[in-house]
Amino acid sequence: GQNIDQPTEMTATEGAIVQINCTYQTSGFNGLFWYQQHAGEAPTFLSYNVLDGLEEKGRFSSFLSRSKGYSYLLLKELQMKDSASYLCAVMDSNYQLIWGAGTKLIIKP
Amino acid sequence: GAVVSQHPSRVICKSGTSVKIECRSLDFQATTMFWYRQFPKKSLMLMATSNEGSKATYEQGVEKDKFLINHASLTLSTLTVTSAHPEDSSFYICSARVLQENQPQHFGDGTRLSIL
């Protein structure tokens, strides 16, 4: 079966760095997406990785290792507004998005 | 770019009513639109995939006669919840994607549906 695993919840301190991991087992791979979802709102697109390596976009970076079925989202210089759920989603061989359950990130002052 | 508009943002109505939700891609042509449902503190659940000009593909367990989807143009898809019941109360979110399948989905703001 297809499976996406990410931690349910994480806590970090304002100004710090946090890494949210995602491991996946899917039938084929056509890329991995990270989305941010604030409570009561729709998801917003953060990043897309299809090749191995690190993609940096401002305070956010996303890493992919296809051989390990592993990705992480790295958030630097955390701000209170970064408190949200972070969703990992993998596109399988049929270009269907398989969604993880999301990681709720709590930022403390 | 890649703005998706979803209306209404909130609906409260009586049991038995039919509710229509619109999803529009404002600045791009969306060959494929997706309809999701999300319960509180749960992940997104894909209900159906809608391709312009063809019938929607429903996920297992989703009643196509209850959740009617129309994707009549490259910028508009609608979801109609027919004869809604309290158990249909949920957060419904649409997303849209351009032709290239490996492009990200862009989400509308969602519709919070409450059936009394």
State the nearest Cα–Cα gap between B33 and chain A, in angstroms. Answer: 12
**Are the CB atoms for A34 and A46 separated by under 8 Å?**
yes
pLDDT tens, residue by residue, A9-51: 999 999 999 999 999 999 999 999 999 999 989 999 999 999 9
pLDDT tens, residue by residue, B26-52: 988 888 899 999 988 788 899 999 988
**Are the CB atoms for B11 and B111 separated by under 8 Å?**
yes
How far is residue B47 from each of residues A60, A65, A70, B17, B21, measured CA to CA in Å? 30, 30, 27, 20, 14
CB pair distance less than 8 Å for B107 and A31? no
pLDDT on residue B42: 83
B4-28 as b/e, with b when 16 or more CB fall inside 10 Å? Answer: bebeeeebeeeeeeebebbbbbeeb
Q: What is the mean pLDDT of chain A?
A: 95
Q: What is the separation of C-alpha B64 from the centre of its chain, rounded to a whole number of angstroms? A: 13
Q: Which single residue is written with the structure tokens 């039919």? A: B18
Q: Which residues of B touch A97 (CB under 8 A)?
A: 46, 105
pLDDT surpasses 80 at B101: no
Q: What is the mean pLDDT of chain B?
A: 91
pLDDT on residue B63: 94
Parallel/antiparallel/unpaired status of strands A84-91 and A70-75? unpaired
Nearest alpha carbon to residue A46 among A38, A56, A34: A34
CB pair distance less than 8 Å for A41 and B108? no
CB pair distance less than 8 Å for B107 and A43? yes
